[in-house]
Structure 1
C-alpha cells in the first residue's frame, strides 16, 4: 500500500510541478532581462542565472527524467547513451541551481557585511565571471557520473536502460567520488548558506544597535532610509536562502541516514522509510526551483508591476490588432 501511495503521489506531483514551474521561470527570466525591477546589474545577473538554472532543472529533471523517461520506458530516451546523458545533465544542472543560490547568498553577504570589499566584488563583470567559473567547474566535476552507470539490458544488439554500476560504487575511487559529489551538492552549500546567513544576521543586529545609538533617543520615531533599504535587501536574501534550507533539509538528513546505515543505498525497498524519505526529499528539493518566482512576486513591488505588464502584453497586442 505504501509503495502504491508513493508512486501515485509522484505521478501526480511531477506533472503539476512542470506545468506551473516552467511558465513561472520563463516569465521571471523575461522580467529580469528587461532590467526594470530596480535591481542592480550585479544582483540581476545572479537572479537571471538562478532562474535559468531552475528552468533547466524543471525541463531535464522533472519533464524529461521523471515524466517522459519514467512513463515511456521503451522510447529513445531509454537508449543507454541517451539515458547516461540525461542522468549527467540532471545532476549537473541541479548542481548549478544550488551553487548559483550559494553565489547569490555570498554576494548579499558581501554587500551587507563587507562594505570595503563591496565596491570591488559586487559588480556586473564579477558576477558574470563567478557564474561562468561555477558553470565550468560543475560541468567538469560531474563527468564521472557518465561512468557510474552501465547498460541494463541488450535487445537486438541495442543497449537499453541505465543502472548503477556495481563495480563503480564498490570501488574506492567510486565511493570517494560519491561522498565528494554528495558533499559538493548537499552538505557544503547547505552549510555555506546557513553560515553566511548567521554571519549576516549577526552583522545586522550589531549595526542596528550602533545606528540606533548614534541617532539618539530623540529621533527614534523618525524614519531611517538606510535601515529601510537594508531591510528590503535582507528580506530578499533571507526568503530565498531560508526557503532553500527548508526545502533541502529533508534531502540532507535522509542522505546522511541512508548512507550511514547502508553505504551502497540507491533506491531500496519502496516500502522502506529510507526510500520514502529520499523520494520526499527529491520532490521538495525540485520544488525549490519554483520558489524564487513566488518569492520575487511576494517581496518585490517593482517585480509585481513588471509581472502585470508582461501578463497584459499579449492581450494588449491582440486588442490593437482587432482594432486595426
Structure 2
C-alpha cells in the first residue's frame, strides 16, 4: 500500500508538475509518453484505493472473524491479493489509454494528450466513464464505510460483554487495557473512513457531473469553475494517498519502533566510529594501556551527551567483530588470565 501511494506521488505530483511546465516542451509531453504517464497515474491511484480497501478488509477479518483469520491472514494470500489488485487496476485503465488523443501536432510530432469531448457523448464512452466512476471511488468508499462500521459494531459488542464479565467478577473499577486498545482501534477506523471520504468527495462529484452536466474533464480553461474544482479534487486525491499510509503506519507500534531506529541509526553509527577511533589511538599510540577500562570510563562520561541507550548499544558492540577483544584486549591477549593486569579483570568489562 505504501509503494502504491508512493507511485501516486511520483506520477500524480512530481511528473505531472514537471510536464505542466510551459517554459519548454519536455519529452514527458510527447504524445505516447503522455499516454503512458496518465496510464501509470490512473493505475497507481486505483491500486492505492483498492489496496486501502483490502487492508481494511484484512483488519475486519482479523478482528471480527477468528476462524477465517488463520486461513486468510497469511503472506501467500497477501501476495496473491496484491498481484490481482494491480492487474485489475491496469485492466481498468486500458480504455483511458485508448481514448487519449494528441492535443497538438507540431512538425508532424504529436504533443500532449487529452480526452476528446465527444468521447463521453458516445454510448460506449459514457458507459466506460460511469463504470470507472463506480469502481473508483464509489465502491471503495462504500466498502470502507461498511467494513469499518461492522468492525466498530463488533468492537462495541465485545466491550459490552467484557464489561459485564468484569462487573460480575467485581473488577470493573480497575483500568482495562484491552478496552483501551479497542477504543483506539475505533478512533483509527473512524479517522481512516472520514479521511478517505472527505478527500475523495470533490473528485467524486466532478466525475459524476460529467455524466449529467455539460462539462468535460481535463479542460484547458483554468478560469472555469468546474476545472478549478476538478484540479482541487486531484490535489485532495493526492493528499489522500499520503494520509492513508501515514495514519495506518503511525498507529502501528512496530512502525513507530522502526521509525525511532531509523532516527537513532546515524547517531549510533557515529558513536561506533568514535569507538573505533578511540581503540585505534590507544592501541597504536599508547601500547600497554588498559583499553577496556579506558573505553568504559569514556562511555560513562559520554552517556549524558548521547543518551544511555546509545552508549549501552555502542558499549556492547565490539569494533573488531568479536567479544574476545573485550575480554582480552590486544595489548594483553597473549597473557593468561592469571597474569592479567588488575584493570582488565572481569569486573572492568
TM-score range, shorter chain: 0.7 to 0.9
Cα distance between partner residues in 2 of 1:71 and 1:319:
46
Contact 1:69 1:78 in 2 (8 A): yes
- Superposed CA offset, 1:254-283 (max 9, x none): 433454223645437433433322222211
Alpha-carbon shift at residue 168 of structure 1 (Å): 3.2
Show the 5 A alignment for 1:34-45.
Answer: none
Contact 1:113 1:200 in 2 (8 A): yes
* Residue 219 in structure 1 maps to residue 171 in structure 2: yes
Cα distance between partner residues in 1 of 2:112 and 2:38:
11
Partner of 1:171: 122
Secondary structure in structure 2 of the residue aligned to 1:102: helix
Show the 5 A alignment for 1:289-308.
Answer: 289-292=241-244, 294-295=246-247, 298-308=250-260
Cα distance between partner residues in 1 of 2:227 and 2:216:
13
Instruction: Tell me: higher relative CO, structure 1 or 2? Use CA pairs within 8 A at least 6 residues apart.
Output: 1
Aligned residues: 274
Contact 1:147 1:168 in 2 (8 A): no
Contact 1:80 1:160 in 2 (8 A): yes
Moved more, 279-288 or 217-226: 217-226
For residue 82 of structure 1, the aligned residue among 15, 18, 33 is 33
**TM-score w.r.t. length of structure 1:** 0.76
* Residue 69 in structure 1 maps to residue 19 in structure 2: yes
Distance 1:190 1:268, change over 3 A: farther
Distance 1:203 1:293, change over 3 A: closer
* Residue 98 in structure 1 maps to residue 49 in structure 2: yes
Contact 1:100 1:131 in 2 (8 A): yes
Show the 5 A alignment for 1:1-324.
Answer: 50-65=1-16, 67-72=17-22, 74-216=25-167, 218-262=170-214, 264-267=216-219, 269-292=221-244, 294-295=246-247, 298-318=250-270, 320-321=272-273, 324=277
Distance 1:320 1:147, change over 3 A: same
Alpha-carbon shift at residue 318 of structure 1 (Å): 4.7
- Superposed CA offset, 1:140-174 (max 9, x none): 22111111111122222211111213453332111
Secondary structure in structure 2 of the residue aligned to 1:222: coil
Structure whose alpha-carbon radius of gyration is higher: 2
Distance 1:236 1:122, change over 3 A: farther
Cα distance between partner residues in 2 of 1:301 and 1:204:
20
Cα distance between partner residues in 2 of 1:92 and 1:167:
24
Contact 2:203 2:237 in 1 (8 A): yes
Cα distance between partner residues in 1 of 2:108 and 2:224:
36
- Superposed CA offset, 1:7-40 (max 9, x none): xxxxxxxxxxxxxxxxxxxxxxxxxxxxxxxxxx
RMSD value, Cα: 2.4
- Superposed CA offset, 1:223-262 (max 9, x none): 4454344345444444333322222122223433454223
Cα distance between partner residues in 2 of 1:99 and 1:207:
29
Cα distance between partner residues in 2 of 1:54 and 1:273:
28
Secondary structure in structure 2 of the residue aligned to 1:216: helix
Contact 1:92 1:139 in 2 (8 A): yes
- Superposed CA offset, 1:180-209 (max 9, x none): 111111111111111112222222222222
Partner of 2:333: none
Contact 2:119 2:125 in 1 (8 A): yes
Moved more, 76-85 or 159-168: 159-168
Contact 1:296 1:303 in 2 (8 A): no
Cα distance between partner residues in 1 of 2:224 and 2:116:
22
Cα distance between partner residues in 2 of 1:170 and 1:277:
22
* Structure 1 runs not aligned, ≥5 long: 1-49
